[in-house]
Structure 1
Amino acid sequence: MPLAFLTADRAFDQADDVALPYDDRDQWRRPYRPGPWRVGAAALLLLLASYMLLAAMIIALADGPSSGAVCAGGALLVIVAALRLLRVGTWVSARGVRRVGFFTTRTAPWAEVTAVRTTQQPVRWLGLPRTVQGQAVVLVQGVGKPLTDPLMTSHNADFLGRPEAFDRAADTVEAWADEYRSGR
């Protein structure tokens, strides 16, 4: 079974001279692999869900189906949270750039994007309130006011400890912006 999130880096490894190595550019794509912190957190959530499902089965056999169903419903919520955690990140297509958060998703069409640039600024460490000095890819729309949240940071769950991956992903998002903003 092909795993879509593994094809992003392979496409760039095979086509170093092409900035946008995708055939179907209308499909939303993440231009980088999910980081080890994000994948590890999702794996731990799925492990917790498997224990919750086992507990649901034991509770359903010992106490009753309604109690087991409540526990299975909780496990289902944990599985949905793990899958949503894996979807979080920056996605690009020919239509625009999309920042997917855990609870919200914001899409900016390329026609409204003024600039996409990498800046040095204080960024949140793994999404926690603590800030450290790092790099952020900032999307500027309209009159030059950047969005409140950066598209990506060098210290989020995808790029912490992987500066080369951040540089490659930032260059890719900027290349998508340059190509599709110039088409206006």
Structure 2
Amino acid sequence: MPLSFLTADRAFEAADDAALPYHDRDRWRRPYRPGPWRVGTAAVMLLLASFVLFAAVVIAATGTLASAGAVFGMAAVVIVCALRLLRMGVWVSAQGLRHVTFFGTRTAPWDQVAQVRTVQQPVRWLGLPRTVQGQALVLLRQGRAADSPPPLLTTHNADFLARPGAFDRAADSVEAWADEYRRG
């Protein structure tokens, strides 16, 4: 079963001449691959969930069903968190730009997008409170104050830490989608 949220389309990496090499532009897609920090964390969480599920089966066989149900519930929460962690990022389609975070999703239609650009600014390291100097891809909406928009992507998040080339390709791809659909 292919997991479309784990990989970006291979057409982006293969196409050098086209900025938007996708055939079905109405489908939401992430124009980059999730980084090793994000995938590794999700894999460890799923490994932990497998141990918790095994413990739930043992508890169900030897203990009460109520306690086994509680442990099954904990395993389900860990699995949902791992899948949500893998979904996080920036998604684009012909409808607009979607920023998926762990607790929420914000969608900006292309007619509300004033500019998508890369800026040099202090960014959070792996989402922690510590900040370092880096680059961020920010979305500026029309009719809103451009005080301090939250970054869509940074060079120090779980997708691009120690991969500056991957950040540049992803930022260029999102900017290309914005340029194409803001004109249209």
Bin the TM-score by the shorter chain.
Answer: over 0.9
- Check the 8 A contact 2:46/2:78 in 1, yes or no: yes
* Counterpart mapping for 1:25-174 below 5 A: 25-143=25-143, 145-146=145-146, 148-174=149-175
Corresponding residue number in structure 1 for 2:178:
177
1:89 deviation in Å?
A: 0.3
- Indicate how the Cα distance of structure 1 residues 7 and 16 shifts in structure 2: closer, same or farther if over 3 A, else same: farther
Structure 1 gap segments, 5+ residues each: none
C-alpha offsets along residues 33-76 of structure 1, whole Å, 9 cap, x if unaligned?
Answer: 00000000000110110010011111111111111111011000
For the residue of structure 2 that corresponds to 1:2, the secondary structure is coil
C-alpha offsets along residues 115-160 of structure 1, whole Å, 9 cap, x if unaligned?
Answer: 0000000000000000000000010011363463111001000000
- Check the 8 A contact 2:12/2:31 in 1, yes or no: no
- Indicate how the Cα distance of structure 1 residues 43 and 24 shifts in structure 2: closer, same or farther if over 3 A, else same: same
- Check the 8 A contact 1:114/1:144 in 2, yes or no: no
C-alpha offsets along residues 71-118 of structure 1, whole Å, 9 cap, x if unaligned?
Answer: 011000100000000000000001110000000100001001110000
> What is the one-letter code of the residue matched to 2:43?
A
> What is the one-letter code of the residue matched to 1:25?
R
- Indicate how the Cα distance of structure 1 residues 40 and 122 shifts in structure 2: closer, same or farther if over 3 A, else same: same
> What is the one-letter code of the residue matched to 1:104?
G
- Check the 8 A contact 1:30/1:91 in 2, yes or no: yes
- Indicate how the Cα distance of structure 1 residues 52 and 150 shifts in structure 2: closer, same or farther if over 3 A, else same: same
Could you say what the CA RMSD is over the residues aligned between the two structures, in angstroms? 1.4
For the residue of structure 2 that corresponds to 1:161, the secondary structure is coil
Per mean C-alpha deviation after superposition, the further-off stretch among 45-54 and 144-153 is 144-153
- Check the 8 A contact 2:90/2:99 in 1, yes or no: yes
For the residue of structure 2 that corresponds to 1:4, the secondary structure is coil
Give the TM-score, by structure 2 length.
0.95
Structure 2 gap segments, 5+ residues each: none
Total equivalences in the alignment: 183
